[in-house]
Amino acid sequence: MGKPFQVLNHAIPRLESMEKATGKIAYTADLDAHGAAAAIVLRSPHSCARVLQIDCSEAEKVPGFLGCLLPCEVPDILYNPSGNPPAELLLADARILTENPRYIGDRIVCVAAETDEACRMAAQKVKIRYEVHAPLLTLKDAMAEGARPIQPHLSASNIVKRRNVSQGSPDQKGEVLLSGHFSTPSMQHVPIEPTCCICDFSDGKNLTVYSNSQTVFQERRIVSELLGLKENDVRFIKPAVGGGFGARQQLHSQPVIALMSKKLGRPVRLVYTREEEFTATAVRLGTEIDIEVGANRDGVLQYLSAYYLANIGPYTIHGPTIVAGASRKIQYRIPNYFFDGYSILTNDICGGAFRGYGNTQLTFGREIMLDRMAQKLGMDPLEFRLKNHVKVGEHFPCVDAPVTSCAIEECARRAMEIRTRIDVEEHLTFDEEVRQAWGVAFACHGSGPSSREGLSSAIVMLNDDGTARILVGSADIGQGSETMLSQIAAETLGLSLSDVRIKAADTLLTPYDTGTFASSQTFVCGNAVALACRDARAKLLKQLMETVPEAVVTEEDDGFLISSGDKREHLSVQQAVRRVAFHQHGGVIIGCGSYKAQASPSPFVVCMAKVEYRPKLNTVRLLHIIEAADVGTPINRLSVEGQLEGGIAQGVGYALFERMERNPRAQKTVSTDLLHYRVPQAADMPKTHVVIADSYEPTGPHGAKSVGEVATVPVAPAIVNAVNRAAGTEIGTLPLCDRFVILPHSAERGPLS
Amino acid sequence: MNHFPSSLSQATEYRDAIFAGGCTDLMPLFKNQVRDHRNLVFLTQIPELREIRREGPGVSIGASAILADVAESELILNHFPALAQAANAVASPQIRNIATMGGNIMQDRRCIYFNQSAGWRSSLPPCFKTGGDVCHQIPNSPVCRALYYSDVATALLVYDAQAEYWEKGALHCAPLRELIHRHCEANGTACRNRLNILVTRFFMDSPPKGERSGFYKYAMRTSIDFPLINFALRCGRSRSAKLVSGAAAPEPLILEHTAALLDHGAADDDILAACQAELKTLAMPIREACISPARKRDLYLQVFSLLSLREDCPKSTEL
């Protein structure tokens, strides 16, 4: 692993921390778009309907009304709003505005006015008459014999894509075979910043879009195609973003707001309501999964099959890619592996990218099945998993690339140390009144798209005082990637962090990046930044040599050594840049790097959960969560710990009570605000313990792998495994509030205790 | 046009106005367009309505007293601990700093079909609370079945509180239970038939010396949420035990049978069984977010959290 890092592997507050803490940072809705009109998108209140009539006459009378944009006024083009680069699994089925709403988030009409209040009043006056159809909200409805196809141009049934991967023989299942059914709900990301965009297409020729986007270059590409523009004529800018989690990995309403801007000849601004945030963005796919696991009596896994049905909503967007993503994230040595996954169209809320990207759902079932198998075999669940875990040089099932780093045993050991300490301090009670138990789950993910389509580029420009400016196309969505990439640049260049400035995610000013998704920023963009910085250092060395043709110049970690006869002169990087910049044979140092991901090394996490179950009251209280993670070199320890803690929080919500609830009478969801949909708050969290294992990924920038998504993947199965042990149940359905009274961690037992 | 009277006499002059405290309950209703935000009369500028003071054999709490003050009042903490705990259990510190006692009592009953935006509701016919003639919860019900979620009401009722209010130009004083009953009943058709009452104060007699009381709220999360159930209990020596439960029906429930068992020193398990049975009879469950009817019934056992009052919890002192 070499010498200690100067800037990396330290706990460093984010570059923007103070601005965020003091409220100075500008999110999209904070931007002062001169003369921007306010817009509202009217959406269908019905899960399945046909628009019969749109009457804007009363809206036109509202003072300040500027205009309506109707379905007939926008290009009738099918497109896929996914922020992924073009791929076979991305199917075109969405429209900018539609007269055939297929779910309650579908856009029907856009209204614009001088002010937000006038816009609200005008929007209330627009009358839309519908012919309402019975929606297909569940997988069962959508897959029923004769069910109406929701996207008939894609498929005669609502099974729109199948993903099938396998290795080995279906007949070799081992001596012990267990099967189970698992059901996971759709879940919302709940970013605190609402979805928002400001579009200026006033002249109808050049479009500028400010929006909370994870994938600005993909969005530029799609919008250019939709509006018939060259990519050069479209500029996407991502201001500060208050949370992504996958929600902003797709276009939302930018196309319709761009067209409204063109119609009005002025900029237009749209800010989603919280209800739209819940119902008109995207959700983690709800799934129904059947899993079979087989092992020999000695505890060696032989077989795993998964039959995976995903409710992707009425538009494909990410659906088939998510199902595909789920298929290859099995971190155990299983010679006979079969995955059969289906993307099912429904009239439920649109599915989309969500931290974990299909892996979360399959890991949930798999890790519960492994627990059941360990119990069946009389083995310790941790030892059982370790016994079957892949090692460096081995392969995941159906994956050709070998594992290049893996510190799972250290993760397990360090998690156990914490667990032991907790039990020594607090005991592990198990009697008639109180039953406490631990559950464990492992998880892996990738460091970039598993299809290896991740592509990042970076430019580093050295100023004449030796400070550096980095340009990258990747988007910081609140996870701290700008700080992390600046650290990589500083470490690689031999500068201090304060000497580095970064500009990111502006399609006019920064180089191409596939986007912020698939936990790719550290590995893919980090490698691009490291390459660019090495390129800059190589160019600096070359130009420095040209300034002293008679001398020998040697590169050192912290600068350069110029040797000429007996004379030795050490130059720091800054001094070298300055000399080159102003020397008559010198020049400007600009490094560039482009990294096409050739690998997607997996981070690993061991998660343990301690719960307390009271049989008499049927209550469950979550006491502790431990996460030990192998992320390779942690570029910023503070950010990595933050990602782990945030991932735990999202996993706790998923396990306990987060769910988009369908209501049979309303034929749509009732989860429309932060009271009807519950996200755990700080006081609801159990005690969390996170540790970072010592690890080094040889293909990563300075040994780093990802952390973003893997952090949340094992949490729900660890909790459910603990509950199953405490309560003696075999639960495979989320959320747990359906089965137990969930007690907040900090809830008091007695009235004044 | 909204109004900010500085005295009670000014406030009583407004006709057909909506009286508002901290507006924390009303604001989301305005946004959802289920309540009219015009002609509001804000009562928070009237000093006498903010007072918490000793009065006669008990205390008087102004309707505009904010919940944070009630929760922290020494007078309330020492003599009416269940009320202090209930006030402290409402929503979040930010809400408690502006929400008032009167506003909490006169809050709208809630329902997943009612507490939605106009756009969301537009796919369903109007319900009783929005001017229609159906309850989406129980379509064959002749009345609205929305639940009343006040935490403070449950605690006030356990102390047999009285309410003082202006109605039709006259000052009245009546048992709070009656006022809540009238409010909850009228609130079921509030769009057509609003109860035009200005609540001014709440009175409670000092509990007998040695009486114990407490409040328990179950919500899935520690803060923000409305209760999924709450209980207030008093028990002691010189008067009968009283147990009240909220968030289980359109108005708070007095659990007399369970309270009688408490007086007779029944075992915990018997009390839990009695409470469960009594609530199964009296509660009127509806569809709520995040909880099934079966789990709601499990919550009836959460009265367990108050049973320790029979042994070692704070006793009221004489005023």
Q: Give residue-wise pLDDT tens across range A220-270.
A: 999 999 999 999 999 999 999 999 999 999 999 999 999 999 999 999 999
List, as ranges, residues 8-47 from A with C-beta within 8 Å of B.
42-43, 45-46
DSSP per position, B191-217: TTS----EEEEEEEEPPPTT-EEEEEE
- pLDDT for position A460: 98
Pairwise CA distance, residues A453 & A86, whole Å: 10
pLDDT for res A2: 59
CB contact under 8 A, B222 and A676: no
Does any CB of chain A come closer than 8 Å to the CB of residue B309?
yes
Yes or no, beta carbons of A671 and B289 under 8 Å apart: yes
CA quadruple A275, A276, A279, A284: dihedral positive or negative? negative
B94 touches chain A (CB under 8 A): no
Q: Which strands, in side-by-side order, build the sheet including B253-254?
A: B212-218, B229-235, B242-246, B253-254
B interface mutation test: which of A42, A106, A673, A743 has the most B CBs within 10 A?
Answer: A673
> Does B319 have pLDDT greater than 80?
no
pLDDT at A180 over 50: yes
Inspect the interface and report whether the beta carbons of B222 and A46 lie closer than 8 Å.
no
Position A598 confidence tier, pLDDT thresholds 50, 70, 90: confident
Contact check, Cβ <8 Å, B222/A681: yes
Read off the tokens for B184: 């909850």
Whole-angstrom distance, CA of residue A158 vs CA of residue A137? 12
CA dist A676 and A633 (Å) reads 41
8 Å CB contact of A684 and B221: yes
Query: Searching chain A, which residue's CA lies closest to the CA of residue B215?
Result: A751
Question: Which pLDDT score, from 0 to 100, does residue A748 have?
Answer: 46
Whole-angstrom Cα Rg for chain A: 27
| Closest residue of chain A to B125, computed from CA coordinates | A666
How many contiguous H segments (helices) and E segments (strands) does chain B have? Answer: 13, 11
pLDDT in tens, A61-75: 999 999 999 999 999
A741 touches chain B (CB under 8 A): yes
Taking residues B5-10, what's their average pLDDT?
94
Average pLDDT along chain B = 94
The answer to whether the Cβ–Cβ distance between A675 and B289 falls below 8 Å is yes
Whether A659 sits inside 8 A of B290 (CB atoms) is: yes
Alpha carbons A208 and B208: distance in angstroms, whole number: 72
In this prediction, residue A751 carries a pLDDT of: 40
> What is the CATH class of B2-312?
alpha beta
pLDDT score recorded for residue B315:
56
Let me know: does B36 contact B20? Beta carbons within 8 Å. Answer: no
Instruction: Indicate the domain borders of chain B.
Output: 2-312
Say which residue, B194 or A587, is predicted with more confidence. Answer: A587
Q: Percent of chain A beyond pLDDT 70?
A: 99
Position B318 confidence tier, pLDDT thresholds 50, 70, 90: low
| B16 DSSP 8-state letter | S
Q: Name which of A611, A621, A751, A631 is nearest A692 in CA terms.
A: A631
Q: What is the mean pLDDT of residues A302-331?
A: 97
Report, as an integer, the average pLDDT of A599-627: 97
- Would the pLDDT of A273 be above 70? yes
pLDDT in tens, B54-73: 999 999 999 999 999 999 99
With beta carbons less than 8 A apart as the criterion, state whether A567 and A411 touch.
no
The confidence score (pLDDT) of residue B4 equals 95
CA-based angle A647:A651:A653, to the nearest 5? Answer: 120
- State pTM to two decimals: 0.97
Looking from the CA of A385 toward its CB, the CA atoms found within 13 Å total 27
pLDDT confidence of residue B191? 76
Candidates A614, A622, A684, A734: best to mutate against B (most CBs of B within 10 A) is A684
For residue A202, pLDDT over 60 is answered with: yes
Rounded to whole angstroms, the Cα distance separating A673 from A190 reads 10
Share of residues in chain B with pLDDT > 90 (%): 87
The pLDDT of residue A752 is above 50: no
Nearest to B220 among A618, A674, A678 (CB): A678
Q: How far is B174 from chain A (nearest CA, A)?
A: 29
Between chains, do B290 and A618 touch, taking CB under 8 Å as contact? no
The reply to whether A751 touches chain B by the CB within 8 Å rule is: yes
**A390-436 pLDDT, tens per residue?**
999 999 999 999 999 999 999 999 999 999 999 999 999 999 999 99
The Cβ of residue A463 has, within 10 Å, a number of other Cβ atoms equal to: 16
Q: Does A752 touch chain B (CB under 8 A)?
A: yes
pLDDT band at residue A33, thresholds of 50, 70 and 90? confident
Q: Say if residues A1 and A9 touch (Cβ distance below 8 Å).
A: no
- Cα–Cα distance between A110 and A71 in angstroms, integer? 9
Phi-psi sector, A358: left (phi>0), alpha (psi -120 to 50), beta: left
Q: Confidence class of residue B200 from pLDDT cuts 50, 70 and 90?
A: very high
Which of B112, B290, B301 shows the shortest C-beta gap to A657?
B290
Residue type, A243: G
The whole-number pLDDT of residue A630 equals 98
- Report pLDDT digits (tens) over A339-388: 999 999 999 999 999 999 999 999 999 999 999 999 999 999 999 999 99
Which chain B residue has the Cα nearest residue A665?
A: B136
pLDDT, tens digit, for every residue of A429-476?
999 999 999 999 999 999 998 877 889 999 999 999 999 999 999 999
Which of A288, A276, A279 is CA-nearest to residue A138?
Answer: A288
Chain mean pLDDT for chain A? 96
> Is residue A215 predicted with pLDDT exceeding 60?
yes
Q: Residue A738 carries which DSSP code?
A: G
From the list B117, B136, B291, the residue facing A275 with the nearest CB is B117
B221 touching A (Cβ < 8 Å): yes
The pLDDT confidence band at residue B312, using thresholds 50, 70 and 90, is low
Mark B200-218 as b/e (b = at least 16 C-beta within 10 Å): bbbbbebbeeebbbbbbbb
pLDDT of residue A452: 77
Interval A631-677: pLDDT, tens: 999 999 999 999 999 999 999 999 999 999 999 999 999 999 999 99
**Mean per-residue pLDDT for A686-703?**
97
Tens of pLDDT, residue by residue over B157-167, are 999 999 999 99
Q: To the nearest whole angstrom, how far is the Cα of B13 from the nearest Cα of chain A?
A: 31
pLDDT digits (tens, 9 = 90+) for A114-156: 999 999 999 999 999 999 999 999 999 999 999 999 999 999 9
Q: Which pLDDT band, with edges at 50, 70 and 90, does A747 fall under?
A: low
What integer pLDDT is reported at residue B238 of this predicted model?
81
Q: Which two tokens stand for residue B222?
A: 């520690």
The region, left, alpha or beta by phi > 0 then psi within -120 to 50, assigned to residue B205 is beta
- A615 to chain B, closest Cα gap in Å: 11
User: Of the ranges A248-257, A424-433, B85-94, B303-312, which one carries the lowest mean pLDDT score?
Assistant: B303-312
Q: How far is CA A160 from CA A136, A139, A149, A156, A308, in A?
A: 15, 12, 10, 9, 13
pLDDT digits (tens, 9 = 90+) for A35-60: 899 999 999 999 999 999 999 999 99
* Separation between Cα atoms, residue A324 and residue A357, nearest integer Å: 9
Span B244-269, average pLDDT: 96
Residue of A nearest to B227 (CA): A675
User: What pLDDT shows up at residue A450?
Assistant: 80
Contact A124 B299 (CB under 8 A): no
Predicted confidence at residue A753, as pLDDT, reads: 29
Percentage of residues in chain A with pLDDT exceeding 90? 95
CB pair distance less than 8 Å for A670 and B289: yes
Q: Which of A681, A747, A750 sits opposite B224 (nearest CB)?
A: A681
Chain A residues in contact with B81 by the CB 8 A cut-off are 751-752
Range from A616-625, B12-21, B165-174, B223-232 carrying the lowest mean pLDDT: B12-21
CB contact under 8 A, A675 and B287: no
Q: Which of A177-186, A580-589, B308-317 has the highest mean pLDDT?
A: A177-186
Residue B263 C-alpha, separation from nearest chain A C-alpha, in angstroms:
19
Q: What is the mean pLDDT of residues A716-741?
A: 98
- Phi-psi category of A202—alpha, beta or left, where left has phi over 0 and alpha has psi -120 to 50? alpha
Q: Which of residues 641 through 660 in chain A touch B, CB cutoff 8 A?
A: 656-657, 659
